[in-house]
Structure 1
Amino acid sequence: MGALEEAIDRIREGAVERERDRVLPFEQLGWLRDAGFGALRVPADAGGGGADIVALTAALVDLAAADPNVPQALRGHLAFVEDRLWAPEGPDRDRWLARFAAGELVGNAVTEIGNVTLGAVSTRLDTSHGGYAITGTKYYTTGSIFADWIDANAMRPDGVEVAALVRRDQPGVTITDDWDGFGQRLTGSGTTVFEAAHVDAADVFDFATRFPYQTALYQLVLVAVLAGIAQEAERDAVHELRTRARVFSHGAAATSRHDPQLLEAIGRLSATTAATRAITLDAARVVQRAAEARGADAATVAEHKRAAELAVSRAQLSVTELALRQTTALFDVLGASATSAARDLDRHWRNARTVASHNPVAFKARIVGDAVVNDAEPPYEWYVGVPPKGAAS
């Protein structure tokens, strides 16, 4: 067993207790650092694992099965690694790849709530000695509380939107674990406040130059989390049925583990697990082809960008439906005893429902349908905010 597999097995141990007691997985993320997970996509000659996106996604599914909070907490990190892999060869790229290889992690700070106008960014960068000072408040800053760096979007003094990489451990950066969702409660998706925190000029990048398939990759991570939740729901159902001593008088066998109706239910869970994993990895292959288009002409890059977005949107539609069905169906196998709070089996549905609510699936079927029927371009950037004054209702 490799270091990553060992780390995933260790992460599974105590996952239920961490969720029940709201213990953030600082230690568990440390195990992943030591196993080189944060540098899995970094080329081997730069000190990383040299994995492609398909291999990364397979690892994410297994990690999500052990604890779905952990891969979601790494979502911003994985996206910024991909951004630096796409960047032109040179000292900036090399510096960041070396940081990843050394185990440094990146969090995420994009969303602003309240009366922010749709698409607007109120966080700003002001010129300061040796670089910039960043000021603003971000919400849903997934993973930042665990990270060494925070990838924050902001407006530069010249009015250009940029990505500013902010050292987390410095004056002027405050992170609060105040996410109050009923699922995925350990992802570190709280509030981050920047109060004139320092940003080196070399760590500021025009947002327009981000890797082109970023929305597809961000969403692929969440699809992988859903597939992992489905996988663990089956695992828990199998364990509970194997060890169950009690039977129903109106059942179809002398032992629960040999009851044909319950075995049929387990078989359906197993089929769903296989389907969600296959769908997720198939979408990952399309995203990998988009990554391989680095250096190609603009038309080729755009073609693969579109294909990746639509592939992941289709996967989101399918895997969301399957995972939510899976996390409900496991209770049909186990009966009322499965609702015991000590078992915490409801965590699978709560976590799946929470993940599925990100970048809402409700809009994806229309977007895919419009692309298929009318050759419409899917959106590649999503915003949440108050409509501009005068916007059509």
Structure 2
Amino acid sequence: MRTRRVFGISLSLIIINMAAIMERADENLLPAVYKEVSETFKAGPSDLRYLTFIRNFVQGIASPVAGILVINYDRPTVLAIGILFWSLSTGAVGASNYFMQVGFWRAVNGFGLAIVIPALQSFIADSYMDESRGTGFGFLSLVGTVGGIGGGAIATVMAGYKFWGIPGWRFAFVMMATFSIFIAFFVFTFVVDPRKRANIEHDNTKNSNDREGLIEKGNTNSMSIWMESWTAMKAVMKVKTFQFIVLQGLVGSLPWTAMVFFTLWFELIGFDHNSAAALVSLFAAGCAIGSFFGGVVADRISHRYPHSGRIMCAQFSAFMGIPFSWFLLCIIPQSVSSYYTFAVTLFLMGLTISWNSTASNGPMFAEVVPSKHRTMIYAFDRAFEVSFSSFAAPVVGILAEKLYG
């Protein structure tokens, strides 16, 4: 089945990237209005931490569901289901009257994201060849981060107003839910799964055979598709590449989860809504450009150093987080007069610390498993990393409230 093209670009990829934009915008809504949510529900940092924790924890433990669903259904259907889950739960958060209701709908939101994100990643992996996959993941991250910038900034600015008597932060959630429902319809109606394109073959025979060799063979006539996937997952988990990437991700994802408090931190320093939104948007812009640049650089370096190029890029990016975090949190005076210092530091920090996923993790996962098991391996990676990193937000909330006041 051939996908439609618009100005020479696959319509499926256009819509998939639109879905990534909405997904990241949805993720950034709540952190952008923590202050308003705190005032509405009389919740402190120790309460707000649970909203991030419950969404991330449910997202982590539910991620393998995406791998199971993709075995039995095509990815556009799975993506549409996940988008509907997150859109309905986002609208429900905006309509909630009690803090416990917000917590419940954040859990539902996490379930929707658990289905969508691994399916998006495997869709991109199947849409690009090995030598350009970093660029593909980089562009997905770029447009997704643009969505995050837009979602966070718009929500922060809207929070200071009322629309037809509705508080701005609530209206932002309802508006996001409405747009997401349209995206779900477009995905279900127009997106074509790359696996259905019989005339397109991205993996050459040798690479395909190498990947199939990672999976234990069995009698496919007697094995159910579920048992086949379980066998494949056990085999993949023995691959050292998978083990080390997940181990790195367990540690590396902790500070990224803690960064959801950036907006609240800047507002507590004394910045107004617009200034706080601008600072967080600059950091996100740096991450957007950096993730795309990192993917492109890794593709080029991996041509020259096929066995170590992507790893070198990941190590550089991870290391750069140390000096920038130290300077941001310990050196810059926490005052509104330090606005431009914060702005430059956040942009450069985002530009250099955001390479890992696009330069190494995403492309390398696609290279160590056959195409049919890619959603499963991305799902299990999310399961390990997101579940573990979900504890970062509660820790940050406790430290902020108990130690620093």
Output the TM-score relative to the length of structure 1.
0.36
Output the TM-score relative to the length of structure 2.
0.35
Greater helix fraction, Structure 1 or Structure 2: 2
Greater strand fraction, Structure 1 or Structure 2: 1
Larger relative contact order, structure 1 or 2 (CA cutoff 8 Å, min sep 6): 2
